[in-house]
Structure 1
Amino acid sequence: MTVTTVFITRHGQTEWNVQNRMQGHLDSPLTPLGEQQAQWLNAGLQKEPLDIVYSSSSPRAFRTAEIIRGERDIPLTACDEFKEIGMGVWEGCDSGDIEARDPVQHFNFWKDPEEFRVEGSESFAGVQKRALDKLQEIVAAHEGQRILIVTHTVVIKVLMAYFEQRAMEKLWDLPYIYPTCLCRVDFTDGMAEILLHGDTSHYVRSTEDELFD
């Protein structure tokens, strides 16, 4: 029996996260807290013998992956397939402004993802397909190994929804995907088992304001 372990995490907090701006395929740098969150996961994974790291090609995710990898002498590969959902004309915009000018699609994004469409955007189903296809390719190529994937909130949500068989309308139900929270999915003879989902036990500070501001 061969077990392939996949750890999946989100990038650390970014400047646009703090400003409540939509990022999508655009990017903003990690904040000092975001870099610290990546360091916490680096420490939390020290006892895990990782074989390879894959990251979204977005700089915020790739920088997070570099910090988590740390001194490990293992490959780090950037993949466009793990980029955040493309948000088209929303990218770089304040979330409150979006809700005010496009309340229907703002509602769809958070409450009815299958109906989400704005100019230049991807669909949630499209993101799920591209990310899942790449994940399955990676699992097949690294049978029996331990893999880390660094990506984004929507990508994690749609991947975990697939493994949970969660309906898309329930996509945003808990757990919340905090920066550098950890998911773990083990694949045994083609069967997936979720062992962690949104875990933040590696976080060092103790109050919610400190952890998640």
Structure 2
Amino acid sequence: MSSSNQSMRGKLHLLFVRHGETQDNIDRLMQGHRDTNLTEKGVREAHVLADKLRGQHIDSVYHSPLRRIVQTIEPLLSDRPGVQVHADEDLKGQGLGELEGCSYDAIDMGNPRSADGQPGVELFDDFVRRLKRSFARIVGAEAPQVQQQDRTVVIATHGVGITSLFKALESSPSCQGFNPPLATRGPQAFEVRWTDSDDVARLLVSQPANLPVTDGLLDWSAISGQPFLIERWGKEEKAI
């Protein structure tokens, strides 16, 4: 493809959002795959998120099937009947086995592998591989659909998922070894432990046609350079 044709093609925008407040958040309990509901405040936060994205065109939404995520995106979808919506089991947070429902103090929350080895816990490295598998499907499905117009996709998942995927794309210290650095950060991207419910983390692919997609999947082993730009991530005052 000529450089002039490439410049005429649209971009792929990936918007990452997390759920609103749950009672477990208030009680500082680990949720993992616990299927919790939003509190009244969490529902209000979901409407704040929808208002924040009111003028944003959205082509499709991929989401964790857990109730707190489904409830969070309901206001966002209420006036978008034509948006394609896909539930994806791989967008759940890390499975925490017998630690689910336990206090945050039961593990070192600053160490992503501190729960490894506990009964029923999904190994952190397996969790990151699962996130990458979901991301490969999403990008593999969406990137080929970008033509002259931009395409915007919402990925509704859990705070630990957003942070872990972004760290894996950057190959930052806690997520080294999954791949070489594939993403750079913009000036509004601040590494956080998890995003707030009203944050919208934004990942940009400026040349989606250049991504290696095979049989509907992003081919991680064939990616060259750093095609992903983390445009926005968390709040500066909460940066790690």
What range describes the TM-score normalised by the shorter chain of this pair? Answer: 0.7 to 0.9
Structure 2 residue runs of 5 or longer lacking an equivalent are 1-5, 177-190, 212-226
Match of 1:118 in 2: 118
1:44 maps to amino acid? K
- Render the CA deviation track for 1:147-186: whole Å, top value 9, x for unaligned: 001110211111110222212179xx63642124211111
Equivalent residue in structure 1 for 2:104, among 88, 95, 100: 95
Identity %: 25
Conservation of the 8 A alpha-carbon contact between 2:49 and 2:197? no
Is 1:156 equivalent to 2:162 in the alignment? yes
Mark the CA change 1:123 to 1:37 in structure 2 (over 3 Å): closer, same or farther.
same
Match of 2:192 in 1: 174
Distance 2:67 2:96 in 1: 17
Is 1:75 equivalent to 2:84 in the alignment? yes
Match of 1:185 in 2: 203
| Residues 28-37 or 81-90, more deviating | 28-37
1:135 is displaced (CA, Å) by 1.3
Match of 1:66 in 2: 74
Match of 1:194 in 2: 230
1:75 is displaced (CA, Å) by 2.2
Instruction: State TM-score, norm by structure 1.
Output: 0.81
**Corresponding pairs, count:** 189
Conservation of the 8 A alpha-carbon contact between 1:62 and 1:78? no
Q: Which has the higher helix share?
A: 1
- Render the CA deviation track for 1:113-162: whole Å, top value 9, x for unaligned: 27733110112211111112111211121122210011102111111102
Distance 2:235 2:77 in 1: 18
2:228 maps to amino acid? A
Determine helix, strand or coil for the equivalent of 2:129.
Answer: helix
Q: Which has the higher contact order (CA 8 A, sep 6+)?
A: 1
Structure of higher CA gyration radius: 2
Superposition misfits of 4+ residues, deviation over 4 angstroms:
none
Determine helix, strand or coil for the equivalent of 2:87.
Answer: strand
Spell out the pairing of 1:12-51 with structure 2 (5 A cutoff).
12-51=20-59
- Render the CA deviation track for 1:8-27: whole Å, top value 9, x for unaligned: 01111111111111110112
Aligned alpha-carbon RMSD (Å): 2.1
